[in-house]
Amino acid sequence: MRRGNWFWLTVVALVAAVLVGACLGGSSASPARAEDGTGGAGAVNGARSTVTVQGRGEAQAAPDQMLLDVGVVTTAATARAAQEENARRADQMIRGLVAQGIDRKDIQTVSYSVQPQYDYRPGKEGQPPKIVGYQVVNIVRVRVRDLSRAGSVIDRAVGDGANQVQSLQFVLSHEAAARSQALEKAVLDARRKAEVIARALGRPLGEALSVREAGGSYPEPIFLRAAEAAGAAKAATPVEPGQLTLTASVEVVFALR
């Protein structure tokens, strides 16, 4: 065979070998694995371990003021007559409160109404109840800043024409400190509970992740029966402020390490 033919046969053989190797190499390579967000084989994704607890705290303090809801109720055959009588007695009551040392800015009207009074006894068929008179109610809220005079203020109001003592409530003029103390105790109570739970689980307690104030309780008004002037005049009305208890509640989420 001629030398030229050998040359071309050799070139063709070399090219064929290269092509076959490239094909074999491409078929044996492993394809890249797409990430699926799980961190690869053997990775574990789980929510962070937490414990949620509720705490409650209390704080006590002596009240220094009283809120008294007191007023006049009058009834007459006409609305005008009931209003006039009510106005006369209410004005006399308020002037008496001022004479007791109550500042007018501490006297506020909280309720006023004029209502017809009906006779609901059975009448002729189809007839509506009959109006037999009108009732006027005028209630004021009095802030008593000197609790040593609380009883005498009630007696003077009744003596000057008040015939309705609806409620009284003892309050703190500055209650922020007491509320803060109750809230702090609530948080400490929540941590103590979380520590008990974590210890029972054999896990160290981590940091607080979130805190939510869950409300609290405040002193409620004391509702009284309507006072009668004749009965109130016999003896001074005793008033005992006692102690106020303020509560606070929180919900805290702690991490478990």
Q: What is the token pair recorded at 55?
A: 């705490």
Split into its structural domains, the chain has a count of 2
For residue 235, give the DSSP letter.
S
Last residue of a domain, one of 136, 151, 171: 171
Q: Are 138 and 71 in contact (CB under 8 A)?
A: yes
Last residue of a domain, one of 153, 171, 189: 171
Check whether residue 160 and residue 205 sit in a common domain.
Answer: no
Does residue 34 lie within any of the structural domains?
no
Can you give the CATH number for the domain in which 236 is found? 3.30.110.170
- Report the alpha-carbon distance of residue 254 to residue 201 in Å, rounded: 14
Q: What is the token pair recorded at 124?
A: 């002729």
**Residue 11 confidence (pLDDT):** 41
Strand segments (E) across 62-202? 65-76, 107-119, 130-144, 164-171
Does residue 17 lie within any of the structural domains?
no
Check whether residue 59 and residue 148 sit in a common domain.
Answer: no
pLDDT tens per residue across all 257 residues of the chain: 555 554 444 444 444 444 444 444 444 433 333 333 333 222 222 357 999 999 999 999 889 999 999 999 999 999 999 999 999 999 999 999 999 999 999 999 999 999 999 987 766 666 778 889 999 999 999 999 999 899 999 999 999 999 999 888 898 888 888 999 999 999 999 999 999 999 999 999 999 999 999 877 666 555 554 444 334 445 577 788 888 889 999 999 999 98
- Report the alpha-carbon distance of residue 68 to residue 243 in Å, rounded: 17
Q: Are 215 and 249 in contact (CB under 8 A)?
A: yes
pTM: 0.64
Does residue 39 lie within any of the structural domains?
no
**Residue 130 confidence (pLDDT):** 85
Expressed as residue numbers, the domain containing 60 is 47-64+173-257
